[in-house]
Amino acid sequence: MSTTDTTIGTAPADAVEGFSVRRALGALARGDLPSLRVLLGIAVIWTIFQIANDRFLSAVNLSNLTLQIAAVATISIGVVLVLLLGEIDLSVGAVSGLAAGVMAVLSVQQGWPPVLGIVAGLMVGVLIGFFNGIVVTQFGVPSFVVTLAGLLAWQGALLYVLGDTGSVNLPPSIITDLTTTFFDPVIGWVLGIAAIAGFAATHLVARYRRQAAGLEVSGISGTVLRIGMVAAAVIAAVVILNEDRGVPLAALIVVVLMIVFTFITERTRYGRHIFAVGGNAEAARRAGINVNRIKVSVFTLASMLAAAGGILAASRLLAVNQQSGSGDVLLLAIAGPVIAGTSLFGGRGYVWSALLGAIVIGSISNGMDLLALDSDIKFMITGAVLLLAVTIDAVTRLRREAAR
């Protein structure tokens, strides 16, 4: 099972004592600190776009960027789980659109309470994911083929659900509140302080447990540095968002999902089983892990999160139409985690790569929109970024294998 970079800026468990620029650069070259590499990339991207357009780093634009990436980041969490298995799900975009369509039709046209409409949309994702997992595990059909078929089938299902109208507008309700609710500045600071305290407590407790177990730990300076970096980022985010409308509810939803699934993948037996299956499915099976059950559950979670992302997207756009979940949704949902260090080959990655990758992709898209670039240029640049990320992933993988 591969060693993972489990938190933002956290070195792998086998990191040597102390911190130095040379060691950090060596770790970056080996691909052991993908989160740090992404943070540096984000800094470069933001600098370039700020120079090109001084509105890029304005509070209004960064607040809009937060809302824009919420849906993709949510979908990407599920994509990360599937990638950790060494599988792929090409249907997440179509599933997000179908789930949003079901929610909109039931809550607007059929008169269902908005909450039940949201639940129904999520259940659509659960059922589709369960179906994907069953076909992959019981019939041995490659996940690429199963989900590629789903990409087409669920898009057709969305057209059927929407019917002749082709579009459903969402009136003000709890559905639209998901992306139009902003917290008071005081509440924003409370949430920010709680996030910093939680991050610090988690790292310090993990460090104490490793020491108590007699395991090697990195220097305390590295832990303090990571906590300081996260604290600075959170404080800056709260300050900027409070300058506009406040911390958005959508951002809180995404962060909570990140925390929950980070805990699941890194602190539970189930999470360890996911990494084990992704690292070597046959070895995991011989170790007594129910590989099929793990795969079915992961595909189910991935589609449920895709449905949640589709609901957030519909909430932001205030409508669902025949194009919901199509376009570049799938590309962005997969590209983000890969750019942020989750391997396409399985067994290596971390949940926070979904958010970091979404920030990278979202920043590039947002910046190109501010510069009013043509669609052809935007697609080529996005494709080039994805190709670069996959190439880096492949090269670092080869280096690790050569070092063994």
Can you list the alpha helix ranges (DSSP code H) found in 287-351? 291-317, 329-339
How would DSSP label each residue in 204-250?
Answer: HHHHHHHHHTT-----HHHHHHHHHHHHHHHHHHHHHHHHTT-SBHH
| Bigger pLDDT: 392 vs 66 | 66
- What share of the chain has pLDDT > 90, as a percent? 59
Q: Average pLDDT for residues 348-363, to the nearest whole number?
A: 89
Q: Which of 252-266, 331-345, 361-375 has the lowest mean pLDDT?
A: 331-345
Q: Is the pLDDT of residue 363 over 60?
A: yes
Domain boundaries, the chain: 37-181+248-403, 182-247
pLDDT above 70: percentage of residues in the chain = 90
pLDDT, tens only, 115-149? 999 999 999 999 999 999 999 999 999 999 999 99
Q: What is the CATH number of domain 37-181+248-403?
A: 1.10.3470
pLDDT of residue 400: 67
Residue 13: its pLDDT value, please?
39
Task: Give the pLDDT score at 397.
Answer: 67
The answer to whether residue 9 scores a pLDDT higher than 50 is no
- Rounded to a whole number of angstroms, the CA Rg of the chain reads 21
How many angstroms separate the CA atoms of 236 and 43, rounded? 14
221-261 pLDDT per residue, tens? 777 888 888 899 899 999 999 999 999 999 999 999 999 99
Which of the 8 DSSP states describes residue 173?
A: S
Answer whether residue 4 shows pLDDT above 60: no
pLDDT tens column, 389-401: 777 767 776 776 6
CB atoms within 10 A of CB 42: 15
| pLDDT on residue 99 | 97
- Judge whether 160 and 312 are in contact, CB under 8 Å: no
Q: What is the pLDDT of residues 18-50, one digit of tens each?
A: 445 556 555 555 555 666 778 888 888 899 999
- One-letter amino acid identity for 356? L
Q: Of 388 and 254, which is predicted with more confidence?
A: 254
